[in-house]
Structure 1
Amino acid sequence: MRVAVIGCTHAGTAAIVNTAQLYPEAEITVYERNDNISFLSCGIALYVGGVVKDPQGLFYSSPGQLAELGVNTKMLHEVISVDTDRKELIARNLQTGEECTDHFDKLIVTTGSWPVVPKFPGIELDNIILSKNFNHSNMIIEKGKEAQNIVVVGAGYIGIELVEAFQMNGKNVTLIDAEERILSKYLDAEYTNLIEDSLRERGITLALGKKVERFEGNDGKVTTVVTNQGSYPADVVILCIGFRPNTELLKGQVDMLDNGAIIVDEYMRTSKPDVYAAGDSCAIYYNPLKKHAYIPLATNAVRMGTLAARNLVSPTVKYMGTQGTSGIKIYENNIAGTGLTETAAKEAGLQVDSVLVTDNYRPEFMPTHEPVMLKLVYEQGTRRILGAQIMSKVDLTQSINTISVCIQNDMKMEELAFVDFFFQPHFNKPWNFLNSAGLQALPEVPAREAVHS
């Protein structure tokens, strides 16, 4: 069995390693256009901020390790065309320009995503950097050393983490986003208001609800970011606007969402026989909305890559879908979320209610008892749990993984109220705060006529 894999980051590495282990007789060829593989891009801010000293720790595989599994890894090779009917691909060696043709029995597409780069005037100026791969992270560190004014465009996870890292390194930091709130895809206003306050308290300029119009510079280097509501000085600009699936190779050959994300079934199969896909190049089944959605996360990618390998010969293990569970630490606050925010649920046309629990996470007689803020979103009528968010100075983020399982299994709020959680004063209260959220949302008990003897 000849297996070709295009791309080798999270999903690709998982697919390759598992394919090699499960089918030792397979002839596996990997095509990767970069000079490195399996870089954990979610660690860029930790590297920039100096938390991670050795960047090699951000790589969880190498061509040498794949070679030990019998995998032929073609680095600096870009696949320029794929014919899924003829089961043929053409790749170009980026060092020599030479092209080669390969045939496959099975194809796994793990081409990932690429940052959104709007065509702003001045985008070609030096010191305007993306934040995606290892080379970007090195460039951000190098350019940031001498820079004093750092502008980050995009207030998602990556943007927020970079803002924090640069502020802690003593830089003047400005965060620009067209949305009125930071992290608006992940958290409701109860949380983002508090986080924004913590950023401002540390001297970070928040330019929210403002759209970048152009970049200006001198001697070929950026000096100013101009928005529709003011300008901001910039020695370095980092673009973290978002990502789009990198799927041009299969356009018109397999089913995709409007944004180009490849649609796969629960076995990671595309609409074309023997063509599988995984990771940020794909749409995935989103359990809260019961439909496919584009949710590029490393956790989704490694699960999908593993399943693509396991189902390569025959459908064996189904993917259960995703809740889009994620977490972030911003200064002293530990934050996590899963499923739909209340804002996103209403935008999707759902009728929802929510409960907000603010309580000390363990008994007040303990020496410390930090507060935790938990919000649960649920559907009216069905009372099905749709999403949750949590924040505390104590790391209680694993509770969101519990809610993720609840959403996956279509649990209702009243079921959460009485789930069996242990109690021990070191860790929690007799009513766990997850129980408390469910209790707050118990349905009304219907009135009954008094019974007289």
Structure 2
Amino acid sequence: MKNYDLLIIGGGPAGITLTKNIKNKRDIGIMRPEDHSMIYCAMPYVIEDLLPYEKTLKTDSIVTDTGADLIRDLAVDINFENKTVKTAKGDQYDYNELIIATGADPILPPIAGTELDGVMTFKSEDDLKKILDTVNSGVENVSVVGAGAIGIELAQALNEKGIKTNLIDMMPTVLPNMLDPEIAEAAEKELKELGINLYLDQRVVELKGDSALEAVMLDNEEEIASELVVFAVGMKPNVDFLKDSDLEIAADGILVNDKMETNIEDVYAAGDCVQFESGITDEVISGKLATNAVAMGRVLAANLLDGNRSYKGFYNGAATKVGKFYVGGTGLTEKLAAEKYEIVTAQSEFKTAFPIMPFAKDVKLKLIVNKADRRVLGGQIISGEPVTDKVDKITMTVQYGLNVDQLLDFNYSAQPYQSFYPAHNLLVKAAEEAVKKLDS
């Protein structure tokens, strides 16, 4: 048994961020059951042979070089009154302050057949190994359920390996939490051109087979031959081992305030195991992204070192790649914004470089604007070149409450290889279009 000044349960983005920011200023133990911390978002690229498997594994030194002890074990019980943690190996650790950063696990839907061989989710190192083994065994038909970023990236990877790949989603468009239909349209067309079979606005109701998966049944009674089905339909907080404790836990995770404090003194939580609110509407929304976990970890680390920072909420800026297109979104989609605000939308469309340059590609941006105060509530972008920098600019606009009138004064740079002509800027042009609508 060892006593730690600060004990962190969980070795994902939140836990690693905490150890790196606190370093040797506190006596830290960080506990994780997995053999390795993974770069989860790189896993699809291993499947399509863009990266070697080893590149997705973070080295233990990312923790140990900070001066923290790495404990390879699973927390199974916490006594908050006595400040002790018991593990699967039968050990016990004492703490002065505890951080719960146990992350979230992928969801399997409550349908018949999920126990069959060939049914899985996609998050862990074991999941990656299983898919690689299946791909190498000569599987011919695969279905991916969930057309969010993870599902789309995985479907493209499997398709790239020459496997007949089906992508299924209950929503009528791909990336429904990121893109509005008119922005998603080009991405859908690209997926079809890549050879991926799209089944949108359809729900999986049953998985068929004797001991191993043979087919996926849709709600329209269509059967899709599949020897492997991977569900990427959402995440649930990994907090089941705490459900009988005094810790306050809601549907989407542990309840914390903007300091990452729980209802129990000296106990904090951060990352995907936490429930939190939108930074725009102050309503509870899902925000299970590594970037959110890192931001929470930074806030908590500062406060544990006598700082006074607050976490402002989820904006959920995100991006992915669909064939030749790069897409991203942040804040509220048009559909979500219209449920709470009276809005206008505006678009701009230019080139990624001076149009005279032979490699210039199309880029389109959309803004969602609140009529009442003219603030930007969200935005989306699709381009022939990477978009994360532009998504981040829109996130800053949303996060700091800028309105479209202020964006008209935005000072921007221009260069033939990297931007449209100096005469205009993608964000400023969309703001101009929004102002025209608002003032008409």
Using the size of structure 2 for normalisation, the TM-score is 0.92
Which residue of the partner structure matches residue 225 of structure 1?
A: 216
After TM superposition, give the deviation of residue 326 of structure 1 in Å.
Answer: 0.7
After TM superposition, give the deviation of residue 336 of structure 1 in Å.
Answer: 1.2
From 63, 81, 100, the counterpart of 1:66 = 63
Question: What CA distance in whole angstroms lies between the structure 1 residues aligned with 2:177 and 2:118?
Answer: 28
Which residue of the partner structure matches residue 18 of structure 1?
A: 21
Does the C-alpha gap of structure 1 residues 346 and 100 become closer, same or farther in structure 2, counting only changes over 3 Å?
A: same
After TM superposition, give the deviation of residue 444 of structure 1 in Å.
Answer: 7.4
Q: What is the letter of the counterpart of residue 72 of structure 1?
A: D
Secondary structure (helix, strand or coil) at the match of 1:221 reads coil
Larger radius of gyration: 1
Instruction: Tell me, yes or no, if the aligned pair for 1:8 and 1:110 is still in contact at 8 Å.
Output: yes
Deviation per residue, 1:307-353 (Å, 9 max, x gap): 32221253433334331111111111011111111012124x22211
Does the C-alpha gap of structure 1 residues 445 and 88 become closer, same or farther in structure 2, counting only changes over 3 Å?
A: closer
Instruction: Tell me, yes or no, if the aligned pair for 2:252 and 2:286 is still in contact at 8 Å.
Output: no
Does the C-alpha gap of structure 1 residues 137 and 278 become closer, same or farther in structure 2, counting only changes over 3 Å?
A: same
Q: What is the letter of the counterpart of residue 433 of structure 2?
A: Q
Does the C-alpha gap of structure 1 residues 361 and 354 become closer, same or farther in structure 2, counting only changes over 3 Å?
A: same
From 378, 384, 389, the counterpart of 1:393 = 384
Deviation per residue, 1:143-191 (Å, 9 max, x gap): 1221010111111111100111111111101111111211111110012
Which residue of the partner structure matches residue 442 of structure 1?
A: 435
Deviation per residue, 1:96-130 (Å, 9 max, x gap): xxx23322110010100001112321211111121
Secondary structure (helix, strand or coil) at the match of 1:372 reads strand
After TM superposition, give the deviation of residue 446 of structure 1 in Å.
Answer: 8.0
Does the C-alpha gap of structure 1 residues 364 and 254 become closer, same or farther in structure 2, counting only changes over 3 Å?
A: same
After TM superposition, give the deviation of residue 22 of structure 1 in Å.
Answer: 3.0
Question: What CA distance in whole angstroms lies between the structure 1 residues aligned with 2:299 and 2:152?
Answer: 32
Written as runs of structure 1 = structure 2, the 5 A alignment for 1:397-436 is: 397-426=388-417, 427-429=419-421, 430-436=423-429
Which residue of the partner structure matches residue 168 of structure 2?
A: 176
After TM superposition, give the deviation of residue 292 of structure 1 in Å.
Answer: 4.1
Which residue of the partner structure matches residue 451 of structure 1?
A: none
Which residue of the partner structure matches residue 50 of structure 2?
A: 51
Which residue of the partner structure matches residue 42 of structure 1?
A: 41
Secondary structure (helix, strand or coil) at the match of 2:70 reads strand
After TM superposition, give the deviation of residue 65 of structure 1 in Å.
Answer: 5.1
Question: What CA distance in whole angstroms lies between the structure 2 residues aligned with 1:69 and 1:380?
Answer: 48
Q: What is the letter of the counterpart of residue 55 of structure 2?
A: G
Structure 1: 4+ residue segments shifted above 4 A: 443-447
Question: Is 2:8 the partner of 1:5?
Answer: yes
Secondary structure (helix, strand or coil) at the match of 2:304 reads coil
Which residue of the partner structure matches residue 129 of structure 2?
A: 138
After TM superposition, give the deviation of residue 21 of structure 1 in Å.
Answer: 3.1
Which residue of the partner structure matches residue 83 of structure 1?
A: 79
Question: What CA distance in whole angstroms lies between the structure 1 residues aligned with 2:20 and 2:305?
Answer: 16
Question: What CA distance in whole angstroms lies between the structure 1 residues aligned with 2:439 and 2:9?
Answer: 59
Does the C-alpha gap of structure 1 residues 71 and 369 become closer, same or farther in structure 2, counting only changes over 3 Å?
A: closer
Using the size of structure 1 for normalisation, the TM-score is 0.90
Question: Is 2:114 the partner of 1:123?
Answer: yes
From 334, 337, 360, the counterpart of 1:342 = 334
Does the C-alpha gap of structure 1 residues 380 and 390 become closer, same or farther in structure 2, counting only changes over 3 Å?
A: same
Which residue of the partner structure matches residue 298 of structure 1?
A: 290
Deviation per residue, 1:354-408 (Å, 9 max, x gap): 1122233444333343221110001111111010100111234411111111111
Secondary structure (helix, strand or coil) at the match of 2:74 reads strand
Written as runs of structure 1 = structure 2, the 5 A alignment for 1:238-317 is: 238-251=230-243, 253-257=246-250, 259-317=251-309
Question: What CA distance in whole angstroms lies between the structure 1 residues aligned with 2:160 and 2:257?
Answer: 44
Does the C-alpha gap of structure 1 residues 100 and 365 become closer, same or farther in structure 2, counting only changes over 3 Å?
A: closer
Does the C-alpha gap of structure 1 residues 425 and 35 become closer, same or farther in structure 2, counting only changes over 3 Å?
A: closer
Instruction: Tell me, yes or no, if the aligned pair for 1:288 and 1:387 is still in contact at 8 Å.
Output: no
More moved, 151-160 vs 303-312: 303-312
Which residue of the partner structure matches residue 318 of structure 2?
A: 326
Identity over aligned residues, as a percent? 27
More moved, 1-10 vs 245-254: 245-254
Does the C-alpha gap of structure 1 residues 446 and 217 become closer, same or farther in structure 2, counting only changes over 3 Å?
A: closer
Deviation per residue, 1:26-81 (Å, 9 max, x gap): 2x222222222x2111111111111112x22223331x553444433221x22112
Instruction: Tell me, yes or no, if the aligned pair for 2:319 and 2:328 is still in contact at 8 Å.
Output: yes
From 133, 148, 151, the counterpart of 1:156 = 148
- Specify every segment of 5 or more residues in structure 1 that has no aligned partner in the other structure, as ranges: 94-98, 448-453
Question: What CA distance in whole angstroms lies between the structure 2 residues aligned with 1:148 and 1:163?
Answer: 13
Question: Is 2:376 the partner of 1:367?
Answer: no
Question: What CA distance in whole angstroms lies between the structure 2 residues aligned with 1:211 and 1:121?
Answer: 13
- Specify every segment of 5 or more residues in structure 2 that has no aligned partner in the other structure, as ranges: none
More moved, 196-205 vs 385-394: 196-205
After TM superposition, give the deviation of residue 266 of structure 1 in Å.
Answer: 2.7
Instruction: Tell me, yes or no, if the aligned pair for 1:15 and 1:308 is still in contact at 8 Å.
Output: yes
Does the C-alpha gap of structure 1 residues 29 and 355 become closer, same or farther in structure 2, counting only changes over 3 Å?
A: same
